[in-house]
Amino acid sequence: MKKRIMISALLCASMMTACASMDKAADAGVSYVQHAAQTNGASASDSKGLFSPNSESYNSSASYDGGAAADSYEYAETPADPSMAESPENGLEAEKLSREMLVYYCTMSIDTLNFDQSVTAFKNDLDMYGGFIEQENYSDGGYSSVWYNASAEKWQSYTATLRIPSKNYEDFCNSASELGDLRSKNARVENVSQEYHDLGTTLEIYEAKEARYIALLSTITEDEYAVAVERELTDIQIQIANIKTRMNAIETDVAYSYVYITINEVKEYVSEPVKTDTFFDRLSATLKDAGRGFLNFLEGLLFLIIYLAPYLVLIGIVVFIVISIVKAIKKRKAAKREKTSMQQEEIKQTAPESEDDKS
């Protein structure tokens, strides 16, 4: 019973200490946010350009600016820790953090008359500035088919997702713009300083909590409480691992900027001279069209006759047989009628003779 009371007291003391640490860290975070917002707001007026990762600030067209940061954190009216807000060292650290934790994005579309040469020059620039390709796609512009048509007109295209060292980001974008005709370019900057700082603060809290749970675990002798503490410790360690993974991802994004590039093959347009037809030209064209149409009519008629010839022969044979049968029937009927008429005449001739003999 005494052990359980002692363990409960230790758990309560640990939770109270963790709550106090979190409150202190939150106050420090609010003070840092206020100072960083004021620093960014002051430096936004002397921006050196949107596309430069080496500049100390950037203009309001980016996705993050100092004025917006100050407006977002208006609730931080007074710092919880005056010494932290007034310390020059903390101010320099906040300014350095805001300047360095920037992620650059750029989307470019380029048209070129010499596709192969532009793609080769692009890859040379990529090697020269130390970048690498995350994803790339190539298309020859032809239709998907099982048949190969060498004379088919094709328009090649190449798209890629690149990671460029942030120190070479501006130079690479300027060099890529000269690969051909730059049709579009869209660039933006994302400031991840606040997220990175919050993750660092949260990591410190979880690591301190992890140390306390490890120390507490070493004093527990009962298995039931040891399992409960180990379960909580495992959850904390998972949270620590997730935070470190996100912080590493942010550091990678800050070190290597994103560039999305598309290279399209185009061909130069050549206008044809406009030709005005005279009366004789139109008359000649009309006669040619008429003659061509008549020949096409005769050709079609001939092909129709050839196509229908077997059917016509069959129909002629059937008609011939029918006519022959009809004629034979008529001839037979005529012969029968003639025979009947002759018999009647013979009867008529023999009838008077028999009457004379009787008289």
Which mean pLDDT values do the consecutive 10-residue runs of the chain (359 residues) have?
46 47 41 36 36 39 34 33 42 53 94 93 94 93 72 86 94 93 94 93 95 90 88 94 95 94 90 79 89 92 91 92 91 84 78 59
pLDDT at 111: 95
Beta carbons of 136 and 159 less than 8 angstroms apart: yes
pTM: 0.52
Find the helix packing angle between 88-100 and 2-43, rounded to 10°.
80
pLDDT at 98: 47
pLDDT at 155: 86
pLDDT at 124: 94
E strands, 166-228, where? Answer: 181-191
Q: Nearest 5°: CA angle at 157, between 153 and 162?
A: 170
Q: In one letter, which amino acid is 230?
A: E
